[in-house]
Amino acid sequence: MKRTRTPSANPSLHTPRTVGYLRVSTIDQDLEKNKSDILHLANERRLVPVEWVEEKVSGTKDWRKRKLGEVMTTLQTGDTIIVSELSRLGRSTLQILEVMQEAKKKGIAVHAIKNGWSLNGTMESKIVLQVLAMVSEIERDLISARTKEGLKARKEAGVKLGRPKGPGKSKLDIHREDIIEDLQRGVTKTRIAKRYGTTPENLQNWIQKHQIKKGFTP
């Protein structure tokens, strides 16, 4: 009698996945060429088949809020991401480093066609990761320094810093007359707040800021 083998749920039997990540921020970037380069590397290293993830979005957008972030949550140890160059992961060294560190933590290999760089546990990739960490630290310091210098220059120029005094804009402002009318008719703050998509506390603060002293039933 022939036995039927039951598939094992052992995670060690996970079939490695290869994702070709393609991001363009302008219409003149050639997706097809990048795709061809990625396929060539995947075939060369026996990483086929390739799952394609394409998106047209600025690299300044947080990678976690892009398709890249969605993909990273599904990948496991032994999986691979291939990009045409590291800049496809993000527009700043800080973002690229975050992605690389997440990949390293999860045991995901990353290959960049340009310059032939790989994050795959080799000494070379560890050195590159250390260099990225150093550059990102310098980048953070530069951003901090530029911010402080900019604030100092504005202060010396007589620009008042910080939040302006007085009541700021509120989504309730455009409903001012209606709210006053509701209050005069005796509508409770709870009902008014619900009607205009806010909380009774925010409504009360708005009333106090605008010094609305018309008679109303709380």
The whole-number pLDDT of residue 79 equals: 95
What is the Cα–Cα distance from 80 to 70, expressed in whole angstroms?
Answer: 15
Please identify which of the residues 25, 87, 118, 170 carries the catalytic annotation: 25
Question: At 103, which amino acid appears?
Answer: A
What is the Cα–Cα distance from 109 to 30, expressed in whole angstroms?
Answer: 24
Tens of pLDDT, residues 74-112: 999 999 999 998 888 887 777 888 888 899 889 999 999
The whole-number pLDDT of residue 2 equals: 44
CB-based contacts of 140: which residues, under 8 Å, 6+ apart? 94
The whole-number pLDDT of residue 80 equals: 96
Nearest of 117, 109, 68 to residue 88 by alpha carbon = 68
What is the Cα–Cα distance from 178 to 200, expressed in whole angstroms?
Answer: 16
Angle, in degrees to the nearest 10, between helices 93-106 and 67-74: 20
115 is written with which tokens? 């310059």
What is the Cα–Cα distance from 131 to 133, expressed in whole angstroms?
Answer: 5
Tens of pLDDT, residues 113-142: 987 888 877 766 677 767 776 676 666 666
Burial class (CB within 10 angstroms; exposed 0-12, middle 13-18, buried 19+) of 73 = exposed
Q: 139-143 contacts: CB < 8 A, separation 24 or more?
A: 139/92, 139/93, 139/94, 140/94
What is the Cα–Cα distance from 63 to 149, expressed in whole angstroms?
Answer: 29
CB-based contacts of 81: which residues, under 8 Å, 6+ apart? 18, 19, 21, 71, 75, 103, 108, 109, 110, 111
Nearest of 101, 120, 139 to residue 45 by alpha carbon = 120
Active site includes 25? yes
Tens of pLDDT, residues 23-67: 876 555 677 888 999 999 999 999 999 999 998 887 678 888 899
H-helix or E-strand spanning residue 24: strand 18-24
